[in-house]
Amino acid sequence: MTQLEQAKKGNITPEMEYVAEKENIDVEKLRKNVACGQVVILKNEVANTKPTGVGKDLHTKINANIGSSTEQESVEGELEKLDILLKYGADAVMDLSTGPKLNEIRQKIRAKTDIPLGTVPLYEAGAVTLKDEKAMVDMDPDILFKTIENQAKEGVDFITVHCGITKDSVKAVDDSERLMGIVSRGGALTAAWIMHNECENPLYSEYDYLLDICREYDVTLSLGDGLRPGCTHDATDIAQIRELTTLGRLVKRSKNAGVQVMVEGPGHVPITQVQANMQIQKTICDGAPFYVLGPLVTDIAPGYDHITAAIGASIAGASGADFLCYVTPAEHLCIPNKEHVKQGVIASKIAAQVSDVAKGLPSAIKREEDMAHAREDFDWDKQFELSVDPQQAREYYESQKADDDEMCSMCGDFCAIKMIKDHHKEL
C-alpha cells in the first residue's frame, strides 16, 4: 500500500513518523497533507531510501542531476560527483545517463546512497532502441513500460515521465510564436515519436497502466514539463499552459489511484512572471508539490546559470515551489564536473534557505538568527558551522587573518561591531 493510500485511510506509517521528526512537524498534520496530495514521501517500497518529504509545510528540498551522455561516460566520475552532492547537502539525486553504461551507473548510485533516486526512464528506453539499430522514434511502447517496471524493481524512488505531451499540445507548439520550440529532451523525443507514428503518447493514452506499476512499488510520479520554455520569450505561453492543464487532470487521476505525484515546472521565466507561474501551477494541479528547474530569469549567462537559476529558485520557493532542481555553471555548455556539481548544489541550498525563511519555517529563521549572534560575538567557528560551505568560509577568513580575532581583514580597525563594543566597554 502506498503512502498516499495509507494516509487516506488515516494510518500513520513509519515513513511519516520519520519525516515528521526530521521536519519538526506534527505527524497528524503531515498525514493530512499526504492524504490530500500536497506532500509526497519519496521512498520506493523495495529500496533502503531515507524517506524524504516534499511539499506543504516542509523544508524546501533540492535535487542534483548527474549522469553520462553518449559523448562522455565515466562510471567512476559519476560516482565522484555523487560524493560531492552528498557532501554539500543535496536531498535527492537524479541519474540522467544516456550512455551505454547507464544501467551500471544507476545501479551503483542506488547501491551507494540512501537519498531518493530519480530517473527519466525514457532515456534508457531510447538507448535500448538505438542498441537494436532502430531510430528512437521507432521505439516500441512496451519497451518504455518494461523499463519503468524494471527501474521500479531496482528501487528508483521517483521518475520523470512526459505524460502531458499529446497530439494537441504538439500542435499548440507548432501554432505558437515560440523562438525555441521544445527544449526538453524527453519532451522532444515524445513529440517526435507522436509525429512520426501519428499516434497518441503512450504515457498519456496508457496512463492507468503507468499508475499500476507505480502503485505496486510506491514510485512517485514526477510529471515532466516537456513544453517548458527554453528562453524567457517563450515563458507562460499557450503551449506551456495547455500542457500544465493536462498535467492537472493527470494529478487528480494519480491521487484517485493512490499514486503519489508531483509536477515539474518551467525552465526560463522572466523574474516578473515567476510568482504567477507558481500560483498557476498550484491552482491547476490541485496543490501538488511543485518541482522546478530554476527558473532561469535571464538567457545570457552561460557559465553562470547556477546564479540565474538561484535567483529564480529563491522567488519560486518563496512563492510555493517545494523542490528545486539544481542548475550548474555548465548548464547549456557541457557535462558538469565535480566543481560544477558543488557550485550547483550550494547555489540551490542558498535558494532553499531563502525560500524557507520567506515561508516562515522556524528552523530556517533560527539559523539566520544564530548567524547574527555568531557575528556579533566574533564566534568564527560558529559562523563557519552555520555556513552553506564551511570549508570555503574558513579558507577565506584564514587566508588574510587579522591579528585580532575580533575583526577580519575586510574592515580591520573600522569594524562597526568592534567599535561599538569597545565604546561600551569604556563606559
State pLDDT tens for residues 396-423. 999 998 878 887 888 888 888 888 887 7
The number of folded domains in the chain is: 2
Determine if the pTM surpasses 0.75: yes
| Domain assignment of residue 309, given as a range | 40-360
**354 and 370 co-located in one domain:** no
**308 and 420 co-located in one domain:** no
Cell of 344: 550547483
Q: Is 133 contained in some domain?
A: yes
* pLDDT (0 to 100) of residue 325: 98
Cell of 216: 505496486
**249 and 386 co-located in one domain:** no
Q: Compute the half-sphere exposure of residue 167: CA atoms within 13 Å on the CB side of its CA.
A: 7
pLDDT over 60 at 127, yes or no: yes
Q: Domain ends where: 342, 360, 378? A: 360
Q: Is 22 contained in some domain?
A: no
For the chain, the 3-state helix, strand and coil shares in percent, each to the nearest 5, are 55, 10, 35
Burial of 249 (0-12, 13-18, 19+ CB in 10 A): middle
What single-letter DSSP state applies at residue 329?
Answer: T
pLDDT band at 425 (very low <50, low <70, confident <90, very high): low
**282 and 308 co-located in one domain:** yes
Three-class DSSP category at 95 = strand
Q: What is the CATH number of the domain that holds 177?
A: 3.20.20.540
pLDDT over 60 at 151, yes or no: yes
pLDDT over 60 at 427, yes or no: no
H-helix or E-strand containing 63?
A: strand 61-66
State pLDDT tens for residues 7-23. 999 999 999 999 999 99
Mean pLDDT of the chain: 96
State pLDDT tens for residues 322-332. 999 999 999 99
pLDDT band at 147 (very low <50, low <70, confident <90, very high): very high
**335 and 408 co-located in one domain:** no
d(CA 13, CA 9) in angstroms, rounded, equals: 11
- The amino acid at residue 253 is R
State pLDDT tens for residues 162-205. 999 999 999 999 999 999 999 999 999 999 999 999 999 999 99
* pLDDT (0 to 100) of residue 332: 94
d(CA 58, CA 40) in angstroms, rounded, equals: 11
Q: Give the β-pairing of 220-223 and 52-55.
A: unpaired
